Chain A
Amino acid sequence: MQFMGYKRANGQVGVRNHIGIIPSVFCANTVAKRIAEQVEGAVYLNHPVGCSQVGEDLEITARTLIAMGNNPNLAAVLVVGLGCERFTPDEFVRGLAKSQKPVEKVIIQDEGDSLKAIEKGVRIAKQWAAEFSMQERVPCDIKDLVIGVKCGGTDATSGIAANPAVGVMSDMIVDNGGTIMFSEVTELLGAEHILAARAVNEEVAEEIVCTIGHMEDKLREIGTKKEFAHRGALISTGNFDGGVSSVVEKALGGIYKSGSRPIQGVVQYAEKPEKLGGVYLMNSPGHDGEVVTSFVGGSAQIVVFTTGRGTPTGFPFVPVVKVTGNAFTFEKMKENIDVNAGTIISEGESLESKGKEIFDMVLDVASGRKTKAEVLKHDELFCVTRV
């Protein structure tokens, strides 16, 4: 089965053809934004990191920003630096070499001022925009697709309808040679034995249990201090209002998204699996933005996002397909939600039929169909995790 995508020089496949304008440090955010605003097809990433960080925290920031540039949905990347930041624009540019895509940098302090940096950046990006507007989509195989699956704004319908239906889609992607990534490790507590039983071997089973155990230790350390007792809930007020009563109940309903196929390995935050194909657990906390960003870093071209309560969010250059299992939410938020899986509850539609509909939607989106979040220019989901 095929879709129409953009072939990159290094063999990867993009489902979008944007020019990425990425600041190496937050001080360059506004310059990056102004460049992107002036060039058709350009997108920029806004973030609060890149300086005054050390150790693992800085390493994750560097790895994540580089991984954004390497995602195949970007045709070319302009790095925008200030000039004195700890994560240097040179390291950023070097990290993008393996993508073999056009990469340039603009340094504000080298250009003289922000106006000059914007001008130089616009001239570079507009050249690329003209060039890449000529690139045509070509037939591509599902084995080149990496799909992230995520839930946010969970209610009781997520575990009953939306997540199991997405799980059917996940199995179809894997059976066609593609890759599924799931995550939200803070919300896998209590489901580790089920996931470990799906591991491809003993080593991966142990890695899954350790990853979840490590996250639980971390949560216990920061979440159980007496003075913050009123901030101790792991799941949101909307989860409770929607009928979910504990983190374990949320986990058991959440893991359906990843389908039923063997888990091939655990991937560290925003890293790409060495070998694609099959299901991978991405090691990220459950925050919607941090998870989606980690998938994009793992080279996901599309994210499928279930939401019972309803959320409008999107990512600057990766389409996010919204699925709700709650027919009332779909009725209220149909301008934001792509698939109504509420029919599983209200009309008794089968999970298989809804899963196939989501699979078809994913292939359409891969071939260029815009998601509702893209049409409305929602771009909230870029967010780098911190230590």
Chain B
Amino acid sequence: MTKRLLVMNEKDNVGVLLEDSKAGEFCNYKGKEIKILEDIQFGHKIALKDFSKEDIVYKYGEEIGYALEDIAKGQWIHNHNMGCRRGK
């Protein structure tokens, strides 16, 4: 079953899952399926691309932080793997 995904801005490289999602399920982004790689809760963010360490994370079309490590497309993005120079 495809999980509902919300991407706030064209420039964004993360989306918000609008349903609790399990590893192995899918969401749809720009007509392509993204495999959800780990359990992600309602309201939390999923990577829409493969991130290298230090890559900028965009939501609302703006920078919200940077990758603390390599993050694969479909992984959960949160404060465990995303830093922010302006503060947590």
- Interface residues of chain A, those whose CB is within 8 Å of chain B, are 155-157, 159-160, 189-191, 194, 216, 219, 223, 232-235, 240, 242-243, 245-249, 252-253, 308, 326, 328, 345
Given contacts A243-B78, A245-B45, A246-B64, contact A160 B16 (CB under 8 A): yes
Cβ of A308: which chain B residues have Cβ within 8 Å of it? 43
A243-B16, A245-B82, A247-B87 known, 8 other contacts, Cβ within 8 Å: A156-B44, A157-B43, A243-B78, A246-B83, A246-B84, A248-B63, A249-B60, A252-B60
**Taking chain B's interface residues, is the majority helix, strand, or loop, or is none over half, making it mixed?**
loop
When the two chains form their complex, are residues A156 and B43 in contact, meaning their CB atoms are under 8 A apart? Answer: yes
* Minimum C-beta distance from A327 to chain B (A): 10
Number of interface residues of B (CB under 8 A): 24
Most buried by B among A159, A216, A248: A248
Q: CA of A73 to CA of B62 in the docked complex: distance in angstroms? A: 40
Q: CA of A193 to CA of B31 in the docked complex: distance in angstroms? A: 33
Pairs across A and B, CB under 8 Å, 24 listed = A156-B16, A159-B60, A160-B16, A190-B63, A190-B64, A190-B84, A190-B86, A234-B87, A235-B88, A243-B16, A245-B45, A245-B64, A245-B78, A245-B82, A245-B84, A246-B84, A248-B62, A248-B65, A248-B84, A249-B64, A249-B65, A252-B60, A252-B62, A345-B18
Cβ of B84: which chain A residues have Cβ within 8 Å of it? 190, 245-249
When the two chains form their complex, are residues A248 and B86 in contact, meaning their CB atoms are under 8 A apart? Answer: yes
Q: CA of A190 to CA of B86 in the docked complex: distance in angstroms? A: 7
Q: CA of A189 to CA of B47 in the docked complex: distance in angstroms? A: 23
When the two chains form their complex, are residues A246 and B62 in contact, meaning their CB atoms are under 8 A apart? Answer: no
Cβ of B88: which chain A residues have Cβ within 8 Å of it? 232-235, 245-247
Q: CA of A235 to CA of B64 in the docked complex: distance in angstroms? A: 14
When the two chains form their complex, are residues A243 and B87 in contact, meaning their CB atoms are under 8 A apart? Answer: no
When the two chains form their complex, are residues B86 and A252 in contact, meaning their CB atoms are under 8 A apart? Answer: no
Cβ of A159: which chain B residues have Cβ within 8 Å of it? 8, 60
Q: What 7 A-B pairs come out closest when comparing CB atoms?
A: A156-B43, A246-B84, A243-B43, A249-B64, A243-B44, A252-B60, A247-B87
Cβ of A189: which chain B residues have Cβ within 8 Å of it? 86-87
Cβ of B86: which chain A residues have Cβ within 8 Å of it? 189-190, 216, 246-248
Cβ of B44: which chain A residues have Cβ within 8 Å of it? 156, 243
Which of B8, B62, B78 touches A240 (beta carbons < 8 Å)? Answer: B78
B79 at the interface (CB under 8 A from A): yes
Cβ of A252: which chain B residues have Cβ within 8 Å of it? 59-60, 62, 64
Can you name the residue of chain B whose Cβ is closest to the Cβ of A241?
B41
When the two chains form their complex, are residues A219 and B64 in contact, meaning their CB atoms are under 8 A apart? Answer: no
Can you name the residue of chain B whose Cβ is closest to the Cβ of A328?
B42
Cβ of B83: which chain A residues have Cβ within 8 Å of it? 246
Q: CA of A234 to CA of B88 in the docked complex: distance in angstroms? A: 6
When the two chains form their complex, are residues B64 and A248 in contact, meaning their CB atoms are under 8 A apart? Answer: yes
B48 at the interface (CB under 8 A from A): no
Cβ of B63: which chain A residues have Cβ within 8 Å of it? 190, 248
Cβ of B65: which chain A residues have Cβ within 8 Å of it? 245-246, 248-249
B23 at the interface (CB under 8 A from A): no
* Minimum C-beta distance from B88 to chain A (A): 5
Q: CA of A190 to CA of B64 in the docked complex: distance in angstroms? A: 8
Can you name the residue of chain A whose Cβ is closest to the Cβ of B86?
A189
Interface digits, B2-22 against A, CB 8 Å rule (1 contact, 0 not)? 000010100000001010000
Cβ of B16: which chain A residues have Cβ within 8 Å of it? 156, 160, 243
When the two chains form their complex, are residues A245 and B6 in contact, meaning their CB atoms are under 8 A apart? Answer: no
Can you name the residue of chain B whose Cβ is closest to the Cβ of A249?
B64
